[in-house]
């Protein structure tokens, strides 16, 4: 029988995949007192053994079936290549397990829809590891947008570039853009959502997939979102600028001393102009103070694991549930179609980036 903490039984967890992201999941599940890591599954058991280190209570296997047959395993965390997500998650859900999947949720919209339907039928939690949505910075950004501190959104400009890692099974859009698309999904208000997506990419080193890319998404209300992703940059940059009618915000995720900067600056049109005068638009510039909101330093994956545990215990959908992952996939799918059409805009139907409940943000 597994151990108990404060009178309740801990959730039995298995991590599938011990490569790039798996060790981070292992560390954070082990750090959460409400979880008990039971298995690490990887095609290379030696790698899994290296990841668990001195944790003698954690078992290692290269057989997924072995993990799924263990009745003590209640949660399966999937950290494997994108093309394997669907098969692993489907098997885990059919075995009655809750599932956490590294981004993106699946390799196609159809596969994501099938997983969501299966999770609902099995009454199990399906959660996408949209890690950045659980950072203190993104939660604060969400609150600033929700309470009107920025005013109406005019633009969002995001840069996520570095040297490598060049993926074998996806292009740079599917590798890096899910982070920024999931952030959009999390912070945009319901009245401001993407209408279409245009993708432009290049493969200057000849690997057979885009290594440098740009996404442009017009927003309802006249705003625009622009994402730059790149595997070939000599420097690593993680910066987002959000312009609002009242204030502007800069998020530099690589600057721990000042991740957020809030500027009381903007551009305003002169009001009360006659139609004749409007032909020569008069503008005024506002330049006020800059403040740097204090943010706690907390590893985002701690928030991911805590939200997963809470969603299971409260029998509810997590903030970044399967539908959240599906909305991001629909944007990625449209981006891929735009790329094949030489950057032609692809219209987005429905509410691809509807915002999840933000009761926990602040």
DSSP letters, 199-239, are: EEEE-TT-SSS-SEEEEEEEBTTS-EEEEEEESEEEEEEEE
Q: Is residue 357 part of a domain?
A: no
Q: Is residue 92 part of a domain?
A: yes
My answer on whether 148 and 284 are in the same domain is: yes
My answer on whether 218 and 289 are in the same domain is: yes
CA 168 to each of CA 174, 274, 340: distance values in angstroms, whole numbers, following the listed order: 11, 59, 19
Q: Is residue 38 part of a domain?
A: yes
At 191 the pLDDT is: 85
Cα–Cα distance for residue pair 51/15, rounded to 1 Å = 11
**Tokens, residue 147:** 């309470």
Crossing angle of helices 322-340 and 109-122, in 10° steps, is 170
Residues in a beta bridge with 259: none
Q: How many CA atoms lie within 13 A of 310 on its CB side?
A: 12
Cα–Cα distance for residue pair 225/227, rounded to 1 Å = 7
Task: Please give the tally of structural domains in the chain.
Answer: 2
Neighbours of 222 (CB within 10 A): 11
At 278 the pLDDT is: 56
Q: How many helices (H) and strands (E) does the chain have?
A: 10, 17
What stretches in the chain show pLDDT beneath 70? 1-8, 269-286, 350-362
- Measured in degrees and rounded to the nearest 5, phi and psi for residue 154 equal -105, -35
Burial of 347 (0-12, 13-18, 19+ CB in 10 A): exposed
Nearest to 331 by CA among 318, 315, 347: 347
My answer on whether 287 and 146 are in the same domain is: yes
My answer on whether 63 and 172 are in the same domain is: no
At 284 the pLDDT is: 64
Contacts by residues 252-259 (CB-CB < 8 Å, ≥ 24 positions apart): 253/135, 253/137, 256/297, 258/292, 259/136, 259/137, 259/295
Q: Is residue 247 part of a domain?
A: yes
CA 23 to each of CA 16, 65, 177, 206, 299: distance values in angstroms, whole numbers, following the listed order: 10, 21, 22, 31, 14
Pairing of strands 224-230, 153-163: parallel
My answer on whether 90 and 207 are in the same domain is: no
CA 231 to each of CA 55, 83, 177, 197, 210: distance values in angstroms, whole numbers, following the listed order: 35, 20, 12, 21, 9
At 95 the pLDDT is: 98
My answer on whether 156 and 115 are in the same domain is: no
Contact criterion met (CB below 8 Å) for 176 and 210: no
At 359 the pLDDT is: 35
Can you give the residue range of the structural domain that contains 156?
A: 136-298+327-347
Q: Is residue 107 part of a domain?
A: yes
Burial of 114 (0-12, 13-18, 19+ CB in 10 A): middle
CATH of the domain at 83: 3.40.50.720
Contact criterion met (CB below 8 Å) for 197 and 215: yes
My answer on whether 8 and 120 are in the same domain is: yes
My answer on whether 246 and 312 are in the same domain is: no
My answer on whether 225 and 333 are in the same domain is: yes
Contact criterion met (CB below 8 Å) for 185 and 356: yes
At 350 the pLDDT is: 45
């Amino acid at each position: 029988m597994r151990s108990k903490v404060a009178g309740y039984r801990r959730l039995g967890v298995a991590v599938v995949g011990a490569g790039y992201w798996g060790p981070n999941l292992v560390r954070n599940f082990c750090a959460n007192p409400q979880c008990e890591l039971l298995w690490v599954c990887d095609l290379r058991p030696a790698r899994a053994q290296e990841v668990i280190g001195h944790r003698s209570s954690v078992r290692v296997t290269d057989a997924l079936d072995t993990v799924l047959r263990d009745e003590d395993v209640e949660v399966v965390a999937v950290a494997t290549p994108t093309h394997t997500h669907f098969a692993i998650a489907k098997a885990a859900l059919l075995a009655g397990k809750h599932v956490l999947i590294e981004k993106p949720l699946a390799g196609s919209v159809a596969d994501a829809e099938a997983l969501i339907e299966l999770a609902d039928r099995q009454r199990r939690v399906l959660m996408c590891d949209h890690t950045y949505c659980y950072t203190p910075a993104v939660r604060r950004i969400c609150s600033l947008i929700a309470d009107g501190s920025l005013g109406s959104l005019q633009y969002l400009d995001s840069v996520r570039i570095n040297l490598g890692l060049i993926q074998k099974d996806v292009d740079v859009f599917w590798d890096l853009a899910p982070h920024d698309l999931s952030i959009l999904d999390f912070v945009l208000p319901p009245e401001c959502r993407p209408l279409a997506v245009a993708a432009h990419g290049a493969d200057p080193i000849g690997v057979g997939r885009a290594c440098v890319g740009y996404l442009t998404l017009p927003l309802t209300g006249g705003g625009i979102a622009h994402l730059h992703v790149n595997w070939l940059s000599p420097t690593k940059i993680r910066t987002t600028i959000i312009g609002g009618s009242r204030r502007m915000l800069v998020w530099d995720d690589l600057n721990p001393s000042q991740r957020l900067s809030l500027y009381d600056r903007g551009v305003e049109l002169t009001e009360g102009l006659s139609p004749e005068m409007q032909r020569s638009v008069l503008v005024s510039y506002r330049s006020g103070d800059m403040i740097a909101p204090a943010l706690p330093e907390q590893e985002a994956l701690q928030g991911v694991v805590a939200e997963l545990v809470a969603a299971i215990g409260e029998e509810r959908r997590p903030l970044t549930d399967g539908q959240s992952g599906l909305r991001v996939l629909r944007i990625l799918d449209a981006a891929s179609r735009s790329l094949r059409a030489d950057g032609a805009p692809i219209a987005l139907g429905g509410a691809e980036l509807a915002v999840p409940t933000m009761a926990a943000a602040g």
